[in-house]
Structure 1
Amino acid sequence: MILHCVFLRFKSSVQEEEKQAIYEAIAALKEFIPGMVDVKYGPNVSPEGLSSGYNDGFTVTFEDETVRDYYLSHPDHKAVGDRIVRATDGGLSGILVFDMDI
């Protein structure tokens, strides 16, 4: 399984409703992408103060790398990805992606 972790530095102007809509759009991809097992999302709640400004994020669990790669190239994922880039501080520099084989 692949755990796809995405951490975000949203622009300060992005409202909670927009964040929720983005997360729901990601979760909706499960309907179109077989092997997309789980989606979780929310704000950083760590008390350590080590977030480097990445105060929101989501994870997607995939059955394997093949499913993850299909997700990455899927047009609906690309549309949500563009929406995320527009909502993050600095565009792509406001996004941190880390995948783990679990």
Structure 2
Amino acid sequence: MEAKLVVKHVLLAKFKDDVSLEKIEELIQGYANLVNYIEPMKAFQWGKDVSIENLHQGFTHIFESTFASTEGIAEYISHPKHVEFANLFLDHLDKVLIIDYKPNC
């Protein structure tokens, strides 16, 4: 049986110092809600850095979205709901790093 293709879209974020915890929670909920509007987005997970290695380079949060293909990511990126949310979300970030990858498992 052929394995289903999966592509992960990972965003590392550091929120600006003046962004309240309540606003961060609101933004996270908005991000998570995109899965309800953008069909190619199959799953969403997020978390905060808990590493003891102190190699996070200031990034505090990680957001991971799952797609069936790179074409699905392209559709997600151009979707009006994503564009609207990204403009709001990115305005609250001090640092951001985005990587798309295909898991080798």
| TM-score where L is the length of structure 2 | 0.86
Q: What residue ranges of structure 2 are gaps of 5+ in the alignment?
A: 1-5
Identity fraction in percent? 27
Read off the aligned partner of 2:83 and give its amino acid letter. Answer: K
Aligned Cα root-mean-square deviation (Å): 1.2
Match of 1:30 among 5, 17, 35: 35
Structure number with larger C-alpha Rg: 2
Across the two proteins, how many residue pairs are aligned to each other? Answer: 98
Matched, 1:70 2:75: yes
Aligned to 1:95: 96
**Moved segments of 4+, more than 6 Å:** none
2:40–2:76 contact (8 Å) kept in structure 1:
no
Q: What residue ranges of structure 1 are gaps of 5+ in the alignment?
A: none
| TM-score where L is the length of structure 1 | 0.88
The 3-state SS of whatever aligns with 2:73 is helix
Query: Structure 1, residues 40-92: CA drift from partner, whole Å, max 9, x if none?
Result: 11211111100000111211011111111111001111111111221012xxx
CA distance in 1, matches of 2:91, 2:38: 24
More helix by share: 1
